[in-house]
A and B are shown apart, each in its own frame.
Chain A
Amino acid sequence: MGGFFYGAPAVSDGLLYVAYRNGKVYAVDAASGVQEWSYDLRSAVAGGLAVNNDTVFVGSSNGKLSALDAGNGSLKWEFSSEHEVWATPAVADGVVYFGSLDHSIYALNASDGTKRWAFKTGGGIASTPVVVDGVVYIGSFDKKFYAIDADTGTQKWVFQGAGNWFWSNAVYDNGTIYAGSLDYNVYALDAGNGTLAWPQPFKASDQVRSSPVIAGGVLVVASEDGKIYGLYPKTGEKKWEFDGVGTKVLSNLCAAGGTVYINSQNNKLYALDGETGQEVWAVRLSK
Chain B
Amino acid sequence: MSEAKPASTFNMARFVIILLVVVLIFLLISGVVTITGLWNTILLEPMLNLLVLMSKYFMGSFGLAVIVLTIIIRLLIFPLTMRQLQSSKAMQALRPEITALQEKYAKDGKQLAAEMSQLYKKTGVNPLGCAFPLLLQFPIWVALYQSVMQAMAYTPENLIGLSRQLYSSAAIQSAVPLKHYFLWANLSSGDIFMAILTAASMWVWQKMSSMPSADPQQQTMSRIMLWVLPLLFGLMALTFPSALALYWVVSNIIGIVIQYRVTGWGTLKMPSLASLKRGAPQPVANPVAKTGGTISTVKKAGKSAAPQQGGAKTDSASAKKKETAGGDIISQGDKVGHEERGGERKN
- A residues neighboring B (CB under 8 Å): 6, 44, 46, 83-84, 86, 101, 103, 122-124, 126, 141-143, 163-165, 167, 182, 207, 209, 250
Given A46-B156, A86-B156, A182-B163, are A143 and B179 neighbors across the interface (CB < 8 Å)? no
> Is A165 within 8 A of B163, CB to CB?
yes
Q: A residues within 8 A CB of B164?
A: 182, 207
> Is B156 within 8 A of A124, CB to CB?
no
> Is B156 within 8 A of A164, CB to CB?
no
The number of residue pairs between A and B whose CB atoms lie closer than 8 Å in the complex comes to 40
In the complex, residue of chain A having the shortest beta-carbon distance to the beta carbon of B157:
A250
Given A46-B155, A83-B179, are A141 and B173 neighbors across the interface (CB < 8 Å)? yes
Q: Which residue of the partner chain, among B156, B170, B173, B179, contacts A126 with CB atoms under 8 Å?
A: B156
* Complex alpha-carbon distance, A86 and B156, angstroms: 8
B174 interfacial by beta-carbon distance below 8 Å: yes
Q: B residues within 8 A CB of A165?
A: 163
> Is B156 within 8 A of A142, CB to CB?
no
Q: A residues within 8 A CB of B159?
A: 126
State how many angstroms separate the Cβ of A20 from the closest Cβ of chain B: 14
Q: B residues within 8 A CB of A250?
A: 157
* Complex alpha-carbon distance, A165 and B156, angstroms: 13
* Complex alpha-carbon distance, A116 and B163, angstroms: 31
In the complex, residue of chain A having the shortest beta-carbon distance to the beta carbon of B160:
A209
Q: B residues within 8 A CB of A84?
A: 177
B91 interfacial by beta-carbon distance below 8 Å: no
Given contact pairs A123-B176, A207-B160, enumerate 10 new A-B contacts (beta carbons under 8 Å). A122-B170, A122-B174, A124-B177, A141-B176, A142-B174, A143-B173, A165-B163, A167-B160, A182-B164, A207-B164
> Is B179 within 8 A of A142, CB to CB?
no
Q: A residues within 8 A CB of B179?
A: 83
In the complex, residue of chain B having the shortest beta-carbon distance to the beta carbon of A164:
B163
The 7 closest A-B pairs by CB, nearest first: A101-B177, A182-B163, A124-B177, A165-B163, A122-B174, A46-B156, A209-B160
In the complex, residue of chain B having the shortest beta-carbon distance to the beta carbon of A207:
B160
> Is B156 within 8 A of A6, CB to CB?
yes
